[in-house]
Structure formats: structure tokens, C-alpha cells
Amino acid sequence: MTDQCEVVIVRWPGQGPSADRLAKLLAAYHLQTEAEKGEAVVDAHGLPDRYRSEISDPRAAFADDVVLMALSGDEVVGCVVVTAPHSGRSEIKRLWTDPAFRSRGVAAGLVSAALAHAAGSGVSTVRLSVWKWRTAAIALYERLGFTVAESWEEREQLVCMERAVSGAAATH
């Protein structure tokens, strides 16, 4: 196996993977996050209601947003949500890459596709929040042009970051 794999970014819902594949990624994301916060739960049933609703019905949870998924062949290996524009901004959230596909450019591809989508939607800024212990994610965001911003989050463990976007597609 090589370090790189061919990954295609697709918009969901649409042609391609079903909701259960996206739900699997979202469950993995939330379970890992809760474990990292010291609040590990056995399965998705133990997650807070707001996270369980994303997993059980991603179409409804992200009805106003755009979900991008990375595919390797027909396998879903990553996802990211780009929120609907609001006051000239969109937010990137739920970035997740299957651990077996990390360090292969999947997350960078997803973030770049999210930035391109945001630019095409006319937003001027994309922002995100990331747990401070996710240093690899923070490094990725910094490589892609995000900088630490004044916090808009009430949760102390989150680092808020943002990046200006232009009408041109983002690159990585």
C-alpha cells in the first residue's frame, strides 16, 4: 500500500454513498471526541442527543449545509460539513478521516474542497473550531492558511481559527 490513495470528493446527498456510510463516519468522529474529552461512551446510543440526531438522520441535521465526503473506490473514508453562509461566513465542522486512511491527503482534500465550495458560495471567511489537543488537525489548518482567531466559543478547550477566501478555488 502506498502513502497516497486516489480519493474523490463528492457532495452528499446526491449520487454515491448512502446515509448509513455518512452516519458511520459521524459516529466515529463523535465517539472519538467524547473519549478525548474524558467522557468515553460505549456506542452512539450513549452520545448526547444533538450528536445522536446527526448520526440517525444526517439529511435532516445538515439540511441547510453541504456535506462533502471522500471516497476511495466505493469506500467512504472521510467527511466534512460546510455550513450555509451567514453574514459572509461559513464554518467547517465534523472533519473526519477514517484512521486507516490518515496521512494520505484525505483531510487536506476535504478542507480544500470545502474552501472551494465556500468561495463559490460568495463567503469571504471560513471559520472552524478545533479541540486544542488535536495538534495534527491544527497544523493542517495552519498549512491551509487558517490562523487562530478570537474565540466565539464558550467551551474553553476549543481553538477558533479562520481564513479569508476569494472567488478562486482553494488549493492545497
Q: CA 64, CA 55: separation in Å to the nearest integer?
A: 16
16 phi-psi bin (left φ>0, alpha ψ -120 to 50, beta other): left
Distance between CA atoms of 89 and 49, rounded to whole angstroms?
27
What's the rounded Cα separation, in Å, for the pair 97 and 78?
4
User: If DSSP codes are grouped into helix, strand and coil, which group holds residue 77?
Assistant: strand
Cβ 133 vs Cβ 33: under 8 Å: no
At 168 the pLDDT is: 42
Range of the domain at 62: 8-164
138's grid cell:
491544527
**What pLDDT shows up at residue 1?**
39
What pTM, to 2 d.p., does this model score? 0.85
Q: Is 103 a member of any domain?
A: yes
Considering only residues 145 and 10, tell me which one the structure prediction assigns the higher pLDDT.
145
Given a cut of 90, whether residue 52 has pLDDT beyond it is yes
- The pLDDT score that the predictor gives to residue 2 is 42
Residue pLDDT, tens place only, 4-42: 556 677 776 655 557 788 889 999 999 999 999 998 889
Question: Does residue 138 register a pLDDT over 90?
Answer: yes
**Whether pLDDT at 164 is above 60:** yes
Q: Please write the tens of the pLDDT for every residue from 58-89.
A: 888 998 999 999 888 878 899 999 999 999 99
**In-domain check, residue 171:** no
Give pLDDT tens digits for 82-96. Answer: 999 999 999 999 999
For residue 1, being part of any structural domain is answered with no
Q: Is residue 3 part of a domain?
A: no
Would 116 be classed as within a structural domain?
yes
pLDDT value of residue 151: 86
pLDDT at residue 170 is higher than 80: no
pLDDT for 157? 87
In whole angstroms, what is the distance from residue 29 CA to residue 98 CA? 9
Evaluate whether residue 170 is within a structural domain: no
What is the number of structural domains in the chain?
A: 1
- Answer yes or no: is 150 within a domain: yes
Q: Does residue 160 belong to any structural domain of this protein?
A: yes
| Cell numbers that stand for 135 in this block | 495538534
CATH number at residue 68: 3.40.630.30
